[in-house]
A = this chain, B = another copy of it.
Amino acid sequence: MLGLLTFGEQSGYDLLGLAKQSVGFFWTPARSQLYALLPTLVERGLARSRTVRQTRRPDKQLYRITPAGKRALREGLDQPLGSAVNRNPFALKLFFGEHRDPEKVRAEIEARVHAAQVHLRELEKIEQDLDKQRYLFPYLSLLDGVEDAKAKIRFGKRALALLDELGAGR
């Protein structure tokens, strides 16, 4: 959120929209979570807020990052990632595929391939219109998504082929 606030003064609602169309592919806060977070940022001196009275719309709070907020952002980004397990519900379900109707397993893999293909096209569309000089790091995070989607497609095709091969003689 501090990172998104560096794009300028915004309301909680604005931040949700911005999150959706930027970091939304790899992280999105729940509405309730965000509205709970913002006042604590102010309390901690990482952001300031001001109320904007509106007549045709509900009043809103606008938040702006402070110098302390920028320092906190940098410090947060400098924290090492740690080696938490990469949760993968798909792989988990696949692991226990033996206990399921083979057709359902197949369908699940096919659905994942399809979703990855759609996602890949979406990412490539964004890539075309992106200023890669100016938004180098967002561009890089997009490339990570591209490689990830390709991996899912590659895996899916291999898996379906193997199911035909090995699964046939059962």
The residues of A with any CB-CB pair to B shorter than 8 Å are 3, 6, 22-28, 70, 73-74, 77-78, 81, 83, 85-101, 104-105, 108, 112, 115, 132-133, 136-141, 143-148, 150-152, 154-155, 158-159, 162-163, 166-167
Beta-carbon contact of B166 and A132 below 8 Å: yes
Copies, count = 2
Residues of chain B lying within 8 A (CB to CB) of residue A112:
81
Q: Give chain A's interface secondary structure class.
A: helix
A26: min CB distance to chain B, Å: 4
A-B contacts, 21 listed (Cβ < 8 Å): A23-B92, A23-B95, A26-B91, A28-B85, A73-B96, A73-B99, A81-B90, A81-B112, A88-B145, A91-B141, A92-B141, A95-B138, A97-B136, A97-B140, A98-B136, A133-B166, A140-B163, A143-B158, A143-B159, A148-B151, A151-B151
A146: min CB distance to chain B, Å: 8
Residues of chain B lying within 8 A (CB to CB) of residue A3:
95-96, 99
A65: min CB distance to chain B, Å: 11
Residues of chain B lying within 8 A (CB to CB) of residue A91:
23, 25-26, 141, 144-145
